[in-house]
């Protein structure tokens, strides 16, 4: 396994929980009929909080 491939794999693993959280939230918001602005706002806030919780 090359160094670049290992790095890409590590980054993807680190970002996967954030992506899953944002997609889950967007689907939940869509199911309760929130408008697109609310979905975008809550998705952005969820991504921000998940990223901040992980640290640098």
Average pLDDT, the chain: 72
pLDDT of 4: 73
**CB-based contact 20:49 (threshold 8 Å):** no
The boundaries of the domain holding residue 21 are: 3-54
pLDDT of 53: 56
Q: Against a cut of 0.85, is the pTM above it?
A: no
Please report which confidence band the pLDDT of residue 20 belongs to, taking 50, 70 and 90 as the band edges: confident
Q: Domains in the chain: how many in total?
A: 1
Q: Which of 30, 32, 54, 56 is nearest to 43 (CA)?
A: 30
Tell me the average pLDDT across 39-47: 78
* Residues 26, 53: Cα–Cα separation, whole Å: 20
Please report which confidence band the pLDDT of residue 54 belongs to, taking 50, 70 and 90 as the band edges: low
Please report which confidence band the pLDDT of residue 24 belongs to, taking 50, 70 and 90 as the band edges: confident
| Cβ burial 21-37 (10 Å sphere, 16+ → b, else e) | bbeebbeebeeeeeeee
């Amino acid at each position: 396994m090359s160094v670049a491939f290992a790095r890409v794999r590590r980054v993807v693993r680190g970002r996967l929980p954030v992506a899953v959280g944002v997609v889950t939230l967007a689907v939940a918001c869509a199911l309760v009929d929130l408008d697109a602005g609310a979905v975008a706002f809550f998705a952005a806030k969820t991504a921000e909080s998940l990223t901040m919780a992980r640290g640098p």
